[in-house]
Every structure is written in structure tokens, then in C-alpha cells.
Structure 1
Amino acid sequence: MSDLPYRPNVGAVVFNADGLVLVARRADQPRGEAAGGAWQLPQGGLDEGEDARAAVLREVLEEIGTDRVEILAEHDAWLTYDLPDHLIGVVWGGRWRGQKQRWFALRFLGEDSEIRLDADPHPEFDAWRWVPLGELPALAVPFKREIYERLSRDFARFAEPA
């Protein structure tokens, strides 16, 4: 695994006017009361040569169906995570060991009705909701939890009502 590179990625912590954060449930994961589903923040691959700010806006539009956001801040570090062993070679064609991510805090400027998970022909998510920033780590899959803890600390200043 250590010979594989990290996949370049961008992520969005989208805050509404009340200081809550948008999380979405992955459509490709088990659901039901016991499973709970895999909730995450919007994120996606960074194409070679693509500007990270442009990429995060593209990903938000693709994943939640609206670009009614403004960038508030860019995290000052690339954050990385490793996939668990059972996913190495399964996701991303076995080309990556995990992801190195550039995270952004964004403010949602639209109405909830503008969030459309079905806008993309291949939706990644099947449900979404607003949650307090501090709940992010508990919602994350274990291998992303450390990043979500860091984002909860580093972007806390945006969790106040606008």
C-alpha cells in the first residue's frame, strides 16, 4: 500500500445561514437502522492542472445540484487519509492508497429546495441534511474521522449563524 500515491481531491464544508453543515448519505452504501449509511461532506477528484477553487465549486454543483455557494476559506494544509486494507485495489481501480485533500469552507446562499441530489445522471448521494459541525466526526466512516475532527476544529469560526 505504501507504494501507491494519494488521489488528489477537494472537499467542501458547506455552512448554511444558521451555521449548520450539509452532510449527504452515499447511495452506494448499506442503509437501514443498523447500518445507518455512510454520511460525508461533498468531495471529489482534482483533475491534473485544475485549480482547487474551481474544482470544489464544480464538485458542489455535481454532487448537490447547485452552485449557490461562496468560498469563505481554504484550509492551509493538504489533509490525507489511507483507505482500509479491504478497500485497497477495490476502489479507484487500485491506483491510490487514499486521498490527499484540499478542504474549503463554503457558505450556502440558496434555499434548501435548490439542493438537488438527482441533478447528476449518476448521483453519489441519496439523502442530505444539515447538522451541527461538532457532529461530523461521529457521522464519518472511521478512516475519515480524523480529517472530520480537524475540519470541525479548523472551520469552527464559520459555525455561527451568519
Structure 2
Amino acid sequence: MLAVLQRVREARVVIEGEVVGAIDQGLLVLVCAEKGDTEDEAARLLAKLLKLRVFADAAGKMNLSLQDVAGGLLLVSQFTLAADTRSGTRPGFSAAAAPQDGERLYDHLVRLARDAHPVVATGRFGADMQVHLVNDGPVTMPLTIRPAA
């Protein structure tokens, strides 16, 4: 699975003028399932998101996790993370999971997150979404979780 996490002061997802998911301080995570991904990759991605130390401690060092700061987690599906831009000027998306597999894995990730963390919000799979955020830092990091060998 691919993800881009952004440490935010606040973030929200709007669909057709309606806010469908919002958090205050926390992580906005754009998520893409690739061909061959399974529920295991979703579980490993969530474990990384909850424990990754990207929030400042009292000394100003990135030493605290999302769980440590009791921040929100906003999960947004985004198949375009799988874009292949190596040739030409039109990206290809052949590495992305088929839509039904992507949705199944995204929904699984959301269920796991809601079971493990108190503040979880989402976008809507396949919808035309507007994502609003105030990036804190800015801190933005790509994550890649590959199938176990």
C-alpha cells in the first residue's frame, strides 16, 4: 500500500458542499492500494501510522506518535498515488488495485483504525472530494508498505 501522511493542525473532506470527515490536530493520510496488496498490508500501514513519531515533544523534537498526542486520523482514498509518470505526459495507473479491491482494502483499513484509535474520520471511496488542510510544520511523508516476502 502507498500512503502520504501530512501532520495537520486541522483537515476536512468536503463532497458536494458537505463536510464528510474532519479532524483537528493529527494526521491526514492519503491511501492507495496497489495490485497484490492484502489486509496484512492495511494492518501494517495502520500500525505504522499510529506509532510513527512525527509530533513534537516538550523539547521540540519529533518524538511523539499520533497515539501519544491523542490526535485525529483522517483517511482519504487516492488511487493517483500509484501514478506511473516515467514516460510521456499522461500518467498511467496500472499499478493501482482494481476499484473493488481498492475499496475493500480501504474499508478494511478504516475498520481497523476505528477499532484501534478513538478519533478516525474518512473521505468517501471513489468520490470527487475537496480536501482542506493546514499542514503543520510542514511535515509530509510518503510511506510504502510492500507485501511480506
TM over 0.5: no
Whichever structure has more strand as a proportion of its residues is: 2
